[in-house]
Structure 1
Amino acid sequence: MNIAILAGSNKQSSTSTKLCRYIARRLEERECEASLFDLYSRPVPLFSPDNRNPADVNLAALKETMLKADGIVLSTPDYHGSISGVLKNVIDHLGFDHFDGKVVLSVCSTGGAVGVSPLLQLQVMVRAVHGVNCPEWISIGGENRQFDAEGDPVSTHVQERTIRAIDYFLKLCRSLRS
C-alpha cells in the first residue's frame, strides 16, 4: 500500500514533521511504501485560480505522489487555532483526483495540550475534496512534543497512540481498496 504523508510546516525543526517521519517508519514496518513530502524542504508556489497548474518541479512531484497514494496523512502545526498556510496552499493546489475515496489521517502538533481546532478544520477540507476522514487522529502538545535522537517520541503514550491510529487508518485503507 502506498501512503502519501504531507508534512505541512514551514519550520526546519518542526515537531509535526518529526511526527511524520516517525509515522513513515511505522508504516514501512507494516510493509507500506511511505512517501514523505516535506513542505519546508520542498515548497510549492502560492495557489492562484488564474494559474491552476504552474510549472513547478515540487508541485508536479507532489501531484504525482498524491495520485499514486492509496491513503494520505496530512500533518500541520497549530497556528493560532488553525492549520499552517503552507498546508492550506497545497490543499488548494490539489483536488478530487488526489483525494477522492482515499482515507486521510489528520495529525497536529500544538503548543497547548491538544490541537483539536486544526484537526477539525482538516476534516472539513478533506470532505470538500471527497476524501474519507479517518475517525482516528493524532495530536501532540506541550511536553509530548519531545523526540529522542532516533526520531521516536519520548512519550510512550504518544508512541502507543500513534501506533493505534496508524493501525486503524491502514485497516480502513485496506477495506476501501478491496
Structure 2
Amino acid sequence: MKFIVVAGSNRKNATSTRLGEYVIQAIHGQGHEASLFDLYQTPVPFYAADEKLDDDLHLADLKARVLAADAIILATPEYHGSISGVLKNALDHLGQSYFSGKPVLSISSSGGAVGVSALLQLQAIVRNMHGINASEWISIGGAQRRRFEATYDGYEEYEGSQDIEERIQRVLGSFLHLAEAITSARK
C-alpha cells in the first residue's frame, strides 16, 4: 500500500512534521510505501477558486501524490485552537476527488497539553471530503513532544516516553488494519 503524510506546519523543525516522519518509518517497517509532503519545504500557492494554478510544480506534485495514495495521514500543529493555515490551504486545493473513500489518520503536536481542537476540525474536514476517518488519532503535547524535537538525541528519558511510543504504535497498527481492509475491498 501507498501512504502519504501531508505535514502542515510552517516551521523548519516542527514536532508535528517529525511525528509524521516517525510514522513513515513505522509504516516502512510494516512493509508499505510512505512518503512525506512537507508544506514548509514545498509550499503551495494560496487557494483561489477563480484561478487556475496547474503550472505550480509543488501543487501538481501534492495532487499527484495524494491521488496515488491508498491512505492519507494529515499532520498539523494546533494554532489558536485550529489546524494550521498552510494545511487548510493545501486541503482547499485538493477536495473530494482526492479523499473520497480513502482512510485518513489525523495526527497533531501541540505546545499545550494536546491538540484536540485541531484534530476534531480535521476530522470534520475529512468527512466533508468523503474520506474515512480513522477511529483514533495521535495527539502529543507538553513533555511528550520532547521525543520529536530536533535536539532529541534518543538517550534521554522524558516523562511518558514509553507511553507515547506504545500509543503511536497501537494507533498506527489500527490505522494500517483499516487501510488494508479498505484497500482490499476496493480491488
TM-score over 0.5 (shorter chain): yes
Query: Matched residue pairs, number?
Result: 176
In structure 2, the partner of 1:149 is 153
User: 2 CA distance for matches of 1:52 and 1:104?
Assistant: 27
Is 1:177 the counterpart of 2:183 in the alignment? Answer: yes
Is the contact between residue 136 and residue 165 of structure 1 (CA under 8 Å) also seen in structure 2?
yes
Q: Which moved more, 1:47-56 or 1:100-109?
A: 47-56
- 1:132 maps to 132
CA distance in 1, matches of 2:138, 2:47: 27
Q: What is the Cα deviation at residue 53 of structure 1?
A: 3.5
Deviation of 1:176 (Å): 0.9
Correspondence for 1:114 = 114
Deviations, residues 113-162 of structure 1 (Å, cap 9, x unaligned): 11111000000000111100001100000010012336xx9612111111
- Asked whether the 8 Å contact 1:99–1:126 carries over to 2, the reply is yes
Q: Could you tell me how far 1:97 is from its partner in structure 2? A: 1.8
Deviations 1:50-93 (A, max 9, x none): 11434111110000100110000001001010000000000000
The unaligned stretches of length 5 or more in structure 2 are: none
Between structure 1 and structure 2, the one with the greater Rg is 2
> Paired residue for 1:24?
24
1:3 aligns with 3
Contact 1:15 1:109 in 2 (8 A): yes
2:10 counterpart letter in structure 1: N
1:68 matched to 2:74? The reply is no
Q: Secondary structure at the match of 2:135?
A: strand
TM-score, normalization by structure 2: 0.91
Give the SS at the match of 1:42: coil
| 2:39 matched residue in structure 1 | 39
SS in 2 for 1:45: coil
Shift of 1:177: 1.4
Paired amino acid for 2:84: S
> What letter matches 2:153 in structure 1?
A
Corresponding residue SS for 1:107: strand
What is aligned with 1:164? 170
Moved more, 108-117 or 121-130: 108-117
Cα pair distance change 1:52/1:129, threshold 3 Å: farther
